[in-house]
Structure 1
């Protein structure tokens, strides 16, 4: 499609995406995904196969381990786990885990009341917090209070016509089959290591991974849960979302119609990017590991965390700030 120079105004200063390119936009109802390709950064442990939840010894306390023999793990921002015989929790921040390192997150959010304990791998699957909760969760990083997100979860459930309770599983678990349909409706591309997400034509998020394997392992948590929850809520009725058939009498006309449709979608996304709210972004360094730096970005319309190696982007999870939130 093009290089990402159009994002310089969206994320000014802290994150240069030179050398990365946008692919052909894909749409599933209210959700549009634009693939990002670019140079891979070697030596980063992927999150699903490399990072394991070892125990939840109490409310708001989550222990993770990098089980790889080599390589540093970058814990995905707002990673959460649903599991048996322990509280469902989500993290408010990203972190580095050296090979073999175990780290206790004392500032995790409890998103369901349950019993703590040790877990087996078959008992757990991970998600990323829904977009509507992410700015608030980032604001609450560093605060050791296990129930700190319950009111926001209850409000989200209420907006979705569900019982007003601080139980995120009302959305994630009970509607998992519907949400994971976004995984199949939007196609992960070969070599893809990131994506732009739009909801009803409005910028929703920018996700960037160190390499395609890392991104493939966060693909379902991102597309089904981080962005799929809001997209599912905004889905038009079935008759409205049915695509119009192409007016083509032969294969040549069909190919031409497809090319026109692709060009229209590319132009539409360019307009969305140009219309995205912009403003100053503040970067605060949170942690370092060898040459890698983890930073939190906040601004009037954007929030999230990034990992950089000098000027080179390694990981990014940036999202549109929800109205009324003030990430610190």
Structure 2
């Protein structure tokens, strides 16, 4: 497995992640994260400091603003907001916003079935829908109806041993202290623009951002909520507890425990872990995928296109500039 080939096998058709490389895998409980480094594409507003929730204009109607002075905003797929004095919502799709532009999403999902569970304004934050809800939410893009995800949220809550209600904050807010442990155990790398995520050894998703600043602002939402919720349910105990040391292990009989020996051991371990990731990818369901263009954003020297990927085994959305992938959020069904 070459590092580029491993990534390109996840993309449909002629799309390319040329120049992107896999880093050293990290594991916290059932969640494995493989950092992705690659070329940075400047000129994009980051999602937390650039993108703002303007208002909730009624159930299922959410307005976002690109508050950045420059740079087009790629609205992260399935971003949602926990907010004060308005019911919590999440988006079913991505979009482009020019600097200063406001956009009303009329096909948003209300993720709080009834009034209550509000947080103070100082605690407002955004999340990404948990993996178990993402394929359904993507299928519901363009469909008006604020309660369209409540049954799926209720079923997810029940699988987590919580009350069967359409209240996503039962997981996101009440389980937040546990979920944020994934963020503390998985380390964001310098220059990281994306990640492969695996849950219990199975491919869960690929996330690619235009540049490290964008990905850094998505980090907590992806690790804790998009994939952390699934990983938390997949493990019997708290996430990220280290394996116990074997205190009866014999001392190094060959004398290779010096700096050179340790470097060699680390390199061998890294190669073995990457080979294991290759096996996990090879075992992932595969097959043809449809690519449907949803939107374009022509700009000076660019031809940005937002497309939806659908397949029996995979779903998500991708932003391309020519044949280069600048944003991707792909996940297993």
Is TM (by shorter chain) over 0.5? yes
Tell me, yes or no, if the aligned pair for 1:2 and 1:22 is still in contact at 8 Å.
no
Aligned to 1:36: 36
Tell me, yes or no, if the aligned pair for 2:29 and 2:238 is still in contact at 8 Å.
no
Aligned to 1:293: 305
> Residue 120 of structure 1: CA displacement?
9.8
Aligned to 1:275: 283
What TM-score do the two structures reach when normalised by structure 2?
0.90
Inter-CA distance 121–96: structure 2 relative to 1 (3 Å threshold)? farther
Aligned to 1:211: 211
Tell me, yes or no, if the aligned pair for 1:7 and 1:273 is still in contact at 8 Å.
no
Does residue 92 (structure 1) correspond to residue 99 (structure 2)? The answer is: no
**Secondary structure in structure 2 of the residue aligned to 1:134:** helix
**What is the rounded CA distance, in whole Å, between the counterparts of 2:327 and 2:121 in structure 1?**
26
What TM-score do the two structures reach when normalised by structure 1?
0.92
> Residue 301 of structure 1: CA displacement?
0.5
Structure 2 residue corresponding to 1:304, chosen from 309, 316, 328: 316
Question: Superposition pairs for residues 160-309 of structure 1, below 5 Å?
Answer: 160-237=160-237, 242-245=242-245, 249=252, 250-252=257-259, 254-290=262-298, 291-309=303-321
Tell me, yes or no, if the aligned pair for 2:28 and 2:239 is still in contact at 8 Å.
no
**Which ranges in structure 1 are unaligned for 5 or more consecutive residues?**
322-328
The structure number with the bigger radius of gyration is: 2
Inter-CA distance 120–68: structure 2 relative to 1 (3 Å threshold)? farther
Does residue 103 (structure 1) correspond to residue 93 (structure 2)? The answer is: no
Aligned length: 319
Tell me, yes or no, if the aligned pair for 1:88 and 1:113 is still in contact at 8 Å.
no
Inter-CA distance 208–160: structure 2 relative to 1 (3 Å threshold)? same
**Which ranges in structure 2 are unaligned for 5 or more consecutive residues?**
none
> Residue 2 of structure 1: CA displacement?
4.3
**What is the rounded CA distance, in whole Å, between the counterparts of 1:189 and 1:13 in structure 2?**
29
Tell me, yes or no, if the aligned pair for 2:65 and 2:101 is still in contact at 8 Å.
yes
> Residue 266 of structure 1: CA displacement?
1.3
Tell me, yes or no, if the aligned pair for 1:65 and 1:97 is still in contact at 8 Å.
yes
